[in-house]
A and B are shown apart, each in its own frame.
Chain A
Amino acid sequence: AQKITQTQPGMFVQEKEAVTLDCTYDTSDQSYGLFWYKQPSSGEMIFLIYQGSYDEQNATEGRYSLNFQKARKSANLVISASQLGDSAMYFCAMREGGDNYGQNFVFGPGTRLSVLP
């Protein structure tokens, strides 16, 4: 079974509108972390936002917020006021394991976001 599912291979959004990118995860760990990364066409990976499994409040970083629903095992990324520069591939990722040894990192297949002028 896939540990990270991103059901939207591609998304379109109008400039200045908000968009939600879906992510569901599967883990039996109590301690885990969820990340979102952006990969523009240039290829670099850019960290956007992090949510810990014990964090009670949803993470926010500027125009990015993470809608964390623990019971549903979902960690959707919300981008407000989309900009043309937001066009990129977006990856949801999970860090399993809270110990010093044996952490595992799993990435989803990604969602390609295109922002339309």
Chain B
Amino acid sequence: DSGVTQTPKHLITATGQRVTLRCSPRSGDLSVYWYQQSLDQGLQFLIQYYNGEERAKGNILERFSAQQFPDLHSELNLSSLELGDSALYFCASSVRDRIIYNEQFFGPGTRLTVL
């Protein structure tokens, strides 16, 4: 158990809908990262927050947005969902804002299925 929690574990929804994925980092970790893992695109980095502030942006679509709240939990919002958004979404956390040495601790993921 990494100490990172993600809810829900599974989510099934329809095209055009909007969903929110939630992540609670390990106690004391200030950085949160979001990743998408799909069969055709592999693992892709979406976005990073550090202590409530956006720090880095990867291949995140404009239909997707994220935020980190004062209690450090983070939410990833996916809107106007398409079939291709079906994927496993991981959240990871780390202590610092920069990954220089220490690893990111991954949550168990949220499996999103868009029908």
Name A residues whose Cβ lies closer than 8 Å to a Cβ of B.
Answer: 33, 35, 37, 43-47, 50, 52, 91, 93, 95, 97-110
Contacts and interface: CB of A to CB of B under 8 A. Distances in A.
Nearest to B48: A103
A107 B44 contact: yes
Given A107-B42, A107-B43, A100 B88 contact: no
Given A95-B99, A100-B55, A102-B56, 9 more contacts: A93-B43, A101-B56, A103-B48, A103-B56, A105-B33, A105-B35, A105-B58, A109-B42, A110-B43
B45 to A, nearest CB: 4
Interface residues of B, number: 26
A44 B106 contact: yes
Contacts of B97: 100
Contacts of B58: 104-105
Contacts of A95: 99
A45 B92 contact: yes
B25 to A, nearest CB: 15
